[in-house]
Amino acid sequence: METNRNDMEQLENNQPSVETEENQAAQTESPEESKTEAAAEQEAPSPKQKKGNGGLLRSNKLKRGGMATVMSVVFIAIIVVINILVGLLTERFPSLNWDLTADKLNTLSDQAVEIARGVEQETTIYLIGEEEAYRKDRLYSSYGLEYSQISNLAEKLREVNSKISVEFIDPDTNPGFISQYPEENLVSGSVLVKTEKRHKLLSVADLFTVRSNQNTYQTETYSKVDSALAGALEIVNLDTMPVVTMATGHGELLTSEVLGSFEDLLETQNFEIQKIDFLTEEIPEETQLLMIPTPSTDYTEEEIQKLREYIDDDTHAGQRALLVTCHASQSELPRLESFLEEWGVQVGEGVVAETDAARVALRNAGYVLVDPSENLLTENTYNPLVSASSRPLSLLFAANGDVVMTESLWTTASSAYVATEDMTEADVATLETSQQTVACIAEKRPRVDGEESRRSLVVFGSSYVFTDTFMNTAAFGDRNYVTDLLGYCTGTDGSEVSVMTHQVQTNTLDVAASVSTINVLGLGVFTVGLPLAILIVGLVVFLKRRHL
């Protein structure tokens, strides 16, 4: 047994171990295989290394998420800053705001821009009333007036010229300002334009017109804001105010009750209107146009001499004019008519009428359609011109002495005739028709200080031309023609009339952009929708990048 045990131990000692065999096998491997395994051992991470890489991945995710957050915050901040800058810019430069109204109510006309650019004095436009009441159209809202147009255009005038400023004056919180102008009716909705020289008040009637359409029975509102503001700017900046003087004291047929629209026209053309009793008061020295509005009694010799001294004055350069209107109901005025004949103008009896129905307005034979002169004011075209119930005028000569020119302004067709009170049926049956003159002009051109000046006498056979019926009717061109004639007679110096009143209807159906459309675009899209969309996009980008 012992011998067997020794044999077994000897056998175990002589048997090669597994480790020795593996080592020997490793020693028999090729050098390339040894290098590959060595490289694999170097690349295989240790347990510590694996733990460190996991922390690095989490760190990269954190960095990317943080960067996404920062980018989102910065993006939103940029949008907020852009909105603030746009708001500040549009407040400082109102022209950056889009005018979505169909008739461009919030856009300055060319004439308004030109006048604003010419302002050389510090000029303030005071908007009487709360600022919000203007901007939110709360003033006279029951009439449908868009008062925001006033604040919009006033601020655009300020943008055109830095010498123009705009201030809102609340009568409730600033009664001291209101008390500075006790002669004016400064109420909410009125506008005061002021320089050191003078001020001009614009009432709601100067800014808007509200009337009823006789055909549709609907109330129509018209805006005159653009031309009213432009006219006020011009008038407060003039060195001297041109004056139109109305002669009274002879039972004049044309009074303020029927001359309202004509007087409004004069004011919008920057004329100051003065009225004098011609017998007892002197003609104001600044008068450029003296009007004799259809007197019913004759002038005295002293008054006729006053007329001569005014029109023949050789100490004032520039232009002066005398405007005389007539009517068939006037009594005989021998002295006044004799003065007119000195200028080559004779006023006849009767009323000019028409036989051609195509040359008649409003189905009245005495409302005659007339043609303007081809030699004067030819640069403009006019709607039909109407001379109603006109006395016939005759030109006694083309030129004579100091009178260098007499010319017809308005003439009828050759189908017209003169109807008189003593006309019989036989006379009607054998009418003699001919062209008639119903308005004319005569001129003298004296030299004052070595320069030629102009003195004009204008005679209208019809007083109706200057009444509200024709001055306020767009279908007829009488208003525009009279406006241009005033400009011609008063000259082209510092008192030149330049502002044309333009009315735009504001309550028409606006297919370009209704109030609801403007609210949707302004509040819904740009104020809420666009910023909200940008915020949502930013959050989506943030969340997606956070989970990368």
SS3 110: helix
Q: Worst-scoring range by mean pLDDT, 245-249, 268-272, 398-402?
A: 268-272
pLDDT band, residue 537 (cuts 50/70/90): confident
Question: Is the predicted pLDDT of residue 463 greater than 50, yes or no?
Answer: yes
Place of tokens 């819904």: 524
Predicted confidence at residue 424, as pLDDT, reads: 83
3-state SS of 285-307 is: CCEEEEEEECCCCCCCHHHHHHH
Closest CA to 393 of 333, 326, 338: 326
N-to-C CA span, the chain:
77
Residue 16 has pLDDT above 50, yes or no: no
The residue ranking higher by pLDDT, 87 or 116, is 116
In a 10 Å sphere around its CB, with 0-12 CB exposed, 13-18 middle and 19+ buried, how is residue 45 labelled?
A: exposed
Q: Contact at 8 Å (CB) between 127 and 177?
A: no
429 confidence band (pLDDT: 50, 70, 90):
confident
Residue range 157-200, pLDDT digits in tens? 999 999 999 999 999 999 999 999 998 889 999 999 999 999 99
pLDDT above 70 (res 17): no
Q: Higher-confidence residue: 176 or 30? A: 176
Decide: pTM greater than 0.85. no
Please name the fold of domain 101-239.
Glutaredoxin (3.40.30)
The residue ranges of every structural domain in the chain are 58-95+527-546, 101-239, 240-493
- The pLDDT, as a whole number, for residue 272 is 86
CATH of domain 240-493: 3.40.50
Q: How much is the pLDDT for 28?
A: 47
Q: Which residue has the higher pLDDT, 96 or 264?
A: 264
CA torsion angle 307 336 393 376 (round to 10): 0
Each residue's pLDDT tens digit, 284-293: 988 999 999 9
Provide mean pLDDT across the span 203-229. 84
Cβ count within 10 A of residue 160: 17
Here the tokens at position 171 are 């009568």
pLDDT for 387-396, tens place per residue? 999 999 999 9
Most confident of 79-83, 277-281, 516-520: 277-281
Model pLDDT for residues 449-458, shown as the tens digit of each residue: 888 999 999 9
- Look at 36-50, 242-256, 467-481, 486-500 and tell me which has the smallest mean pLDDT: 36-50
pLDDT score at 21: 46
